[in-house]
Amino acid sequence: MTETTVTPIRVLVVDDHTLFRRGLTALLSRDPRVQVVADAADAGEAQRRAHELQPDLILLDNHLPGVRGVDALAALHETAPHARILMLTVSEDEADLIAALRNGAAGYLLKTIEGDALISAIERAVKGESVIATEMTSKMVAAYLGSTPGTGATPLAQPSILATLSSREREILRGIAHGASNKEIGRELGIAETTVKVHVQNVLRKLNVSTRVHAAVIATEIGTF
């Protein structure tokens, strides 16, 4: 019987703390689903390595010397347009969270995350999902609803917007609002993961948003879920 070969996700680790960077690289390297292709200690080095290697995903700290991680996102996207970028930081500042999402980060994780959860988040991000640390969800919602000073956020939706969704799409949105992955939603509803993916795309289109994060905020704002 022929064994199925899984192509590992190629990851670039960016963090200015040498011990953390090496420890994270060692942790990720133990999992066959991930291959750390390089690491970098600042934004400039990260851009050079990203340009050279074109990784699938970049794990990016925010507190970097010179240029902060959230401010380096645009340049990294330009350098490696196909790479997904996950913030991995100690910062629980909602302003950093919103800046990261607005600048194109695929997710925002805290360094307190467990190893298995980090691997899962990397896989979900590469599949196109947005991943937000549970501890940051309430801050994200507050900021997008405009209750956090200085974010410039405004309410996103009215309850009538749900009228555009089918009953199945409302179930999908409920799963998104609860932070479930496509696989988890499929298991809950008894449908294929690929079918869930199609429904998610339809939900995002009907809500006129580009990410699952925004869809979850709309669901939370309306209060239906």
Parent domain of 189: 155-222
Residue in this structure with the two tokens 């240029």, named with its chain if needed: 67
Residues 40 and 20 in one domain: yes
Per-residue confidence band for 219, with pLDDT thresholds at 50, 70 and 90: confident
Asked if residue 148 has pLDDT above 80, the reply is no
Residues 96 and 57 in one domain: yes
The CATH number of whichever domain residue 170 belongs to comes to 1.10.10.10
Please give the model's pTM, rounded to 2 decimal places: 0.68
What confidence tens digit (pLDDT) does each residue in 169-183 have? 989 988 887 778 888
- In sequence order, what are the residues at sequence separation of 6 or more whose Cβ sits closer than 8 angstroms to the Cβ of residue 39? 12, 13, 14, 15, 21, 22, 25, 49
**How many other CB atoms sit within 10 Å of the CB of residue 123?**
17
Residue 131 to residues 10, 54, 197: CA-CA distances in angstroms? 18, 21, 16
What confidence tens digit (pLDDT) does each residue in 181-216 have? 888 999 999 999 999 999 998 988 888 777 777 777
Domain edge (last residue) among 120, 143, 166: 143
Residues 77 and 184 in one domain: no
Structural domains counted in the chain: 2
Residues 123 and 166 in one domain: no
Residues 46 and 80 in one domain: yes
129/109 Cα distance (integer angstroms): 13
Residues 90 and 139 in one domain: yes
Residues 69 and 109 in one domain: yes
Domain edge (last residue) among 143, 165, 188: 143
* Residue 161 within any structural domain of the chain: yes
- In sequence order, what are the residues at sequence separation of 6 or more whose Cβ sits closer than 8 angstroms to the Cβ of residue 24? 13, 15, 59, 88
Domain edge (last residue) among 82, 111, 143: 143
**How many other CB atoms sit within 10 Å of the CB of residue 208?**
12
The CATH number of whichever domain residue 86 belongs to comes to 3.40.50.2300
Q: Identify residue 162 by its one-letter amino acid code.
A: L
Per-residue confidence band for 157, with pLDDT thresholds at 50, 70 and 90: very low
Residues 25 and 93 in one domain: yes
